[in-house]
Amino acid sequence: MKRRRTAIVAGNWKMNFDHLEATLFVQKLAWMLKDVHFDFKKCEVAIMPSFTSLRSVQVLIESENIPIKYGAQTVSVTSQGAFTGDVSADMLAALGCSYVIVGHSERRKYHPENDANLVDQVRAVLAAGMKPVLCVGESLSERREGIELEFAVGQVNEVARDLSSEEASQMLVAYEPLWAIGTGMTATSTSAQEACKAIREYFDNTYGGETAEKIKVLYGGSVNSSNAAQLLSDCADMDGFLVGGASLDVEEFASIVRITQKLAGSFR
Ligand code: 13P
C-alpha cells in the first residue's frame, strides 16, 4: 500500500541559533535541496527556530520563494494583554508560521504547561490558522512499568478529546519518548511503530477512520541520517520526524530530509 499522507521532517532547533545563524542555515538548506531537485510535494520540510529568528526567516523564505515551512516552539494561550514575555498565536500567524509545537517534554518540564493549558494552546493555534504539533511520550519509568503506550495515548487524549473532528484532523502528533531525546538512544522500529499505531488508533476510535487517516504521526528522539531510513521503512504509521540535535547540522538535516523524500512514496 502506498503511504497516503505527505511526509514531513521538522527541525526543532530548541534554544539554538540567533537570527543570523538561522538565515544562513535556511540559505544553505535551500541551496542543497535545490541542487538535488528535491521534491517538496513528497516531503514537507519545516524548521522551528526561536521566536527571535522568525521574522528574519520569514523575510528570507518569502523573498526567495523558498518552499521550506517554519513554525514556533510554543505559544501563549491568550490572544493579547498583560502577559509579560508571552507571544500569541495571531502574532505567529502574522509572521507566516505554519506550525507550532505544543507540549514538548522540555516545556512540560521547565514551564507550567499542564493538560488544560495544552488544550488551550492547541485551540489558539488552530484558531489562528496554523497546525499544532503535539508532543507526547513516556519516560523511562513508564517504559519499565510497561505502560508506555497507555501513557502516550493518554497524553494525546488529555489534549484531543474535547476537539471537534475537524479540529483534530488538523493536528500532528510527535511521539517522542523522553529517554530517546538527546541521548543517542533511538526507539526500536518495533516500539516506534507500536506507539505511532496506537496514536492513530486513538483517533480512529475517537473520531473515526477519516480523521485517523489524515493525522500525521511523527517520531522524535535521536533521529539522524543513520537511523531515519530504517525507522521510516519499518513503521507504516510514521509520517516523518521531529528532529532535535541533528537538525542543527545542515548536512545531516538535509540527509534526513532526502532519505524521507525517497521513502515517502514507497510501498509498505
Ligand atoms: P533529539 O533529536 O536531539 O533527540 O531531540 C528530539 C526532540 O526533542 C525534537 O523535538
pLDDT at 267 over 70: no
Q: What is the Å distance from ligand 1's center to 80 Cα?
A: 30
Local confidence band at 1 (pLDDT 50, 70, 90 cut-offs): very low
Task: Check pLDDT > 60 for residue 189.
Answer: yes
CA distances for 97 relative to 36, 47, 106, 125, angstroms: 26, 10, 21, 10
The residue ranking higher by pLDDT, 122 or 1, is: 122
% of the chain residues with pLDDT over 90:
94
Which of the following is catalytic: 142, 176, 194, 252? 176
What per-residue confidence (pLDDT) applies to 3? Answer: 64
Number of neighbours of residue 245 by Cβ within 10 angstroms: 19
Taking the C-alpha atoms of residue 99 and residue 114, their distance in angstroms, rounded to an integer, is 20
Specify the pLDDT at position 2.
55
Mean of the pLDDT values across residues 174-180? Answer: 97
Distance 63 CA to ligand 1 centre (A): 30
pLDDT tens digits along 129-174: 999 999 999 999 999 999 999 999 999 999 999 899 899 999 999 9
Q: For this structure, is 111 an active site residue?
A: no
Q: What is the mean pLDDT of residues 209-227?
A: 96
User: Atom 9 of ligand 1 has which residue's CA nearest to it?
Assistant: 244
Q: Give the chain's mean pLDDT.
A: 95
110, 223, 225, best to mutate for ligand 1 pocket (most atoms within 8 Å of CB) = 223
C-beta of 176 in contact with ligand 1 (< 6 A) = yes
- Is 176 an active-site residue? yes
- Is residue 252 in contact with ligand 1, taking CB distance under 6 Å? no
Q: What is the mean pLDDT of residues 36-63?
A: 97
Pocket lining: 225 vs ligand 1, CB cutoff 6 Å: no
pLDDT of res. 268: 45
Determine if ligand 1 sits within 6 Å of the CB of residue 255: no
46 lines ligand 1 (CB under 6 A): no
For residue range 80-120, what is the model confidence (pLDDT) as tens digits?
999 999 999 999 999 999 999 999 999 999 997 887 899 99
* pLDDT of amino acid 87: 97
